[in-house]
Amino acid sequence: MQTAREVLRLAMICGRKVSDIARSCNVNHKTVSKYIARVNEEAITYAEIEAISDTELEKILKNKRGRKSKKTLKQPDFNSLHTELKKKGVTRQLLWEEYIRDNPNGYQRTQFFHHYSKWKKALNPSMRQTHKAGEKMFVDYSGQTAEITNQATGEKKEVQIFVAVLGASNYSYAEATLSQNLSDWINSHVNAFKYFEGVPALVVPDNLKSGVTHACRYEPEVNREYREMAVHYDTTIFPARVRAPKDKSKAENGVLLVQRWILAALRNRIFFSLSDLNQAIYQLLITLNNRPFNKLSGCRRSLFETIDHASLKPLPQIPYVYANWKIARVGMDYHVELSEHFYSVPYQYLSHKVELRYTQHTVEVFCNNRRIASHMRDDSPREATSRPEHMPKSHQEYLKWTPIKLLNKAKEIGDGTYRVIRRVMEDKNHSLPASRLALGIIRLEKKFSAERLEAACLRAILINGYSYKSIESTLSKGLDRKKWEPDNQPVLIDHENVRGEDYFAQDTNIQPGEYLC
């Protein structure tokens, strides 16, 4: 359902064409049309789609309707259309309105444009691309790398060069990253949007493994984290076709310019950190974007300010933070595990399969595309982060018994009970088992009485038996009502063979009544 939601977002929010959506989301264009048609039939908004669960959305999209009978549609005269379009002021929209007026049962707008574009491609397969203002940002990595040097050891490390170019103005951005992994790839996009002070309608990457999970000429599959970043910035990922260099010619030219005017200029300089290298790249970027064009007036910056800048979408208030995803299952203690730390979820989701979205600072738990819990990230091993509202009522009541409350309750029962509970608190290394044991002892008052519990606790102090089982046994057997007598009192035996103290005092200076030490 994630793909279906992305299809509907691109159609209903971004207003993308069916073919663009199919290519971006790796689905058949018929499926895209079907999803859009189902939503239109149900007359629901995108806000309502975001609010419903995956199960409810699936029911809407898979609702089977009676198939419409096939009908023969009148084919437009594409030769005539192509000629008319060359005339000033004539648009495809105007030609379609004239066509549908004469053929009410003919092709609808989307299909009309689709068939004309298909006919035109066959007519001129090498047609030059036209880039609209604020429409596309081309991104790629340079094949040529740079180096940073460890100042202590002199060891050199190779770093990657990320390049982004706006289609209409050729305004360029570049930065060095430690690798081409997914986090560096996405963070470079975030930095590029910040540099351009806006977001284009389309992002056109090469089929890099960090961004495209499965490369295909017609239906590339975009990585989930990469698509999530696109949703945050309200843009569309539109991968270039495999073995189609003209699709990414802007990126290729941008990479070439960065290599010639930036990397070549830095070839003899030594950098000891990534930040120092990026500072040098930034300074040369200013020079590159201010270089006058050879055949046109102005430069990349002036063209950017004139054309692209005003057409870019505004940046969101909060920049995107890279997040990882992990599938987990809720344990019987209504917690999920991440990096040996446990986070609570509502107890109603016991044994459910959930998804964890985690960043450096937060952990979110999703079930059926709904967020059910969120926590601050904590990497303390073998510990738990729990929220009282996630617990059953019985567990919530248990948490209300704090150590201070337990001691105050014990003092109400009596001094003996207070001394026992305080001793329990001091002996236990952790407050949780101490509180559990103390609460168990105090609750014996309900089964017996406060007087008997006090007597049992006084007896426990005498025999050094501070466990719950010992006190409960004393009450169950009624020993609290009996006078306590020590089991190992000394017994005096009077017998002729027993020698007294007088015997040991013979032939010594010890007087009767004294003892040798």
- Rounded Cα distance, 43 and 496, in Å: 112
Give the model's pLDDT for residue 68. 43
Q: How far is CA 431 from the centre of its chain?
A: 33
Q: Residue 267 falls within a domain, yes or no?
A: yes
Q: Residue 128 falls within a domain, yes or no?
A: no
Q: Residue 268 falls within a domain, yes or no?
A: yes
Residue 154 · residue 176 · CB < 8 Å: no
> Is residue 273 located within the same domain as residue 334?
no
Q: Which residues of 55-92 are buried (b: 16+ CB within 10 A; e: fewer)?
A: eebeebbeeeeeeeeeeeeeebeeeebeeeeeeeeeee
Q: Residue 69 falls within a domain, yes or no?
A: no
> Is residue 163 located within the same domain as residue 284?
yes
Report which of 51, 301, 83 is spatially closest to residue 173, judged by C-alpha positions. 301
> Is residue 157 located within the same domain as residue 221?
yes
> Is residue 303 located within the same domain as residue 165?
yes
Pairing between strand 172-177 and 156-166?
antiparallel
> Is residue 107 located within the same domain as residue 142?
no
> Is residue 266 located within the same domain as residue 177?
yes
> Is residue 111 located within the same domain as residue 146?
no
- Rounded Cα distance, 259 and 47, in Å: 45
Question: 82 is in which domain, residue-wise?
Answer: 78-123
> Is residue 423 located within the same domain as residue 294?
no
The last residue of a domain, from among 311, 335, 353: 311
DSSP 336-395: EEETTEEEE--GGGTT-EEEEEE-SSEEEEEETTEEEEEEE----TT-EE--GGGS-HHH
Q: Residue 107 falls within a domain, yes or no?
A: yes
Q: Residue 288 falls within a domain, yes or no?
A: yes
pLDDT per residue over 268-282, tens digit each?
Answer: 899 999 999 999 999
> Is residue 411 located within the same domain as residue 382?
no
- Rounded Cα distance, 227 and 230, in Å: 5
pLDDT per residue over 112-131, tens digit each?
Answer: 888 888 877 765 444 445 56
What phi and psi values does residue 46 have, to the nearest 5 degrees? -70, -30
Please list, in sequence order, all residues whose beta carbon lies within 8 angstroms of the beta carbon of residue 35, skipping any fewer than 6 positions away. 4, 7, 8, 11, 61
Give the model's pLDDT for residue 134. 83
Q: Which helix (H) or strand (E) holds 425?
A: helix 415-427
Q: Mean pLDDT in runs of 10 for the chain (517 residues)?
A: 83 85 85 86 80 82 53 73 70 88 86 83 52 84 91 90 89 92 91 94 76 44 82 87 59 84 90 93 92 79 87 90 88 86 90 89 90 90 84 68 80 90 75 73 88 90 87 88 62 54 49 43
DSSP 471-500: HHHHHHTTGGGSPP--TT-------TT---
The last residue of a domain, from among 391, 425, 447: 391
Give the model's pLDDT for residue 70. 43
> How many domains are contained in the chain?
5
The last residue of a domain, from among 365, 391, 417: 391
Q: Residue 174 falls within a domain, yes or no?
A: yes
Count other C-beta atoms under 10 Å from residue 176's C-beta: 25
